[in-house]
Amino acid sequence: METRVVITGMGAVTPVGIGVRAMWDSLVSGRSGVGRITRFDSSGYDTCIAAEVQDFDPGAVMDRKEAKRMDRFTQFGVVSAGMALEDANISSGFDPDRAGVVFGTGIGGMETFDQQFRVLLEKGPGRVSPFFIPMMISNMAAGNIAMRFGLKGPNATLTTACCASAHSVGDAFRIVQRGDADIMVAGGSEAPVTPVAVAGFCSMKAMSTRNDEPTRAVRPFEARRDGFVMGEGGGMVVLESLEHARKRAARILAEVAGYGQSADAYHITAPPPEGDGAVRAMTAALKDAGMRPETIDYINAHGTSTPLNDKVETIAIKRVFGEHARRLMVSSTKSMTGHLLGAAGIIELIACVQGIVSETIPPTINYEEPDPECDLDYVPNRARTARINAALTNSFGFGGQNVCLIVKRFAD
């Protein structure tokens, strides 16, 4: 019999609040975290808006010298991991060899790369920081989390674009499930609001140009959607074997039920027209969970607000769930947080768990004009009270990678 895996702690640093409670209060109230870019001068860019984390001070939880030796994405990861461990009431008394980290990021230390490349061009190679590489490389968040909290078990970093943190939770789930660890801290972060990253996405014509209406720019599944808005932040969850959680009388928030993944093998950025890869990922997660489609109550969609993604995700949901798709509640919290790229999946998983705990569905805001090709219940504009026994969240990434996670209400 496979080991059951439960979630006992969560932490989040997001554009709509620092801490899970602040984030959740913003989501259920429908508050957008999108505004004009402040981290650099974006004049001359097609897109001048992003969902930035406000009032973030890593020095409040770590030595300022230590913080300066971490890229912003690592700071997000370390802080949210600390929150999750505190929420789980884990500080000591565990076997460090059986506690680990799986972390996801799509880009890693882009801010450090951007800054140090400019130093190279302007001042020469001798002025590049000796901390450039240790700050930039993507695995440094997982490494710093392990060092800070004494987690000596499995440790890995995944860079699967917008699937990265969802992949991380799924792989950490498997590690605990097969008995290789008792505790895994899993999730991811992203800090991509930099000149070169924004310029790159602008060149792809992937982002919204609704610069004059930042809070109304992200409108998943709505007829006038024109692209995603980049976000930054991070989130982590504590996964434990049920046996380990019970031994320490832990509070259990939800149970991880299923994990499915697939590849489109189709195109570097576009999904296949009928959503085949998404269909296979959702189907695999349901099979892994041993659940029928009609037992899912809520889907936190990938829902990026791009014309093609939202249409194809709708098609895929209808293919997997059949008639039950009409009864499902589907929402995109990206309408408020923006798209956190590699960190999107973990924030959306946390939203699913909070929905189960609080019996509330976060809305899809800015939903004004329905799109005939997106014809499901997207919980428009206002949160909804509803009991959720099982929730599913989708993450799809450039390169055609797809991840689906299912969490359910915990029952003995």
pLDDT, one tens digit per residue, over 377-402 is: 999 999 999 999 999 999 999 999 99
Specify the residue for token string 């209400």: 409
pLDDT band with cut points at 50, 70 and 90 for residue 96: very high
Nearest to 245 by CA among 176, 305, 143: 176
- Phi and psi at 364, nearest 5°, equal -100, 110
Calculate mean pLDDT across residues 184-201.
Answer: 97
Q: Which residues, in sequence order, are bridge partners of residue 185?
A: 101, 238
pLDDT digits (tens, 9 = 90+) for 347-370: 999 999 999 999 999 999 999 999
Q: Is the pLDDT of residue 267 over 70?
A: yes
Residues catalogued as catalytic: 162, 302, 339
- Domains of the chain (ranges plus CATH)? 5-247 (3.40.47.10), 258-408 (3.40.47.10)
What average pLDDT is seen over the chain? 97
What is the per-residue pLDDT for 1?
67
Rounded to whole angstroms, how far apart are CA atoms 52 and 49? Answer: 9
Tokens of 233: 């932040």
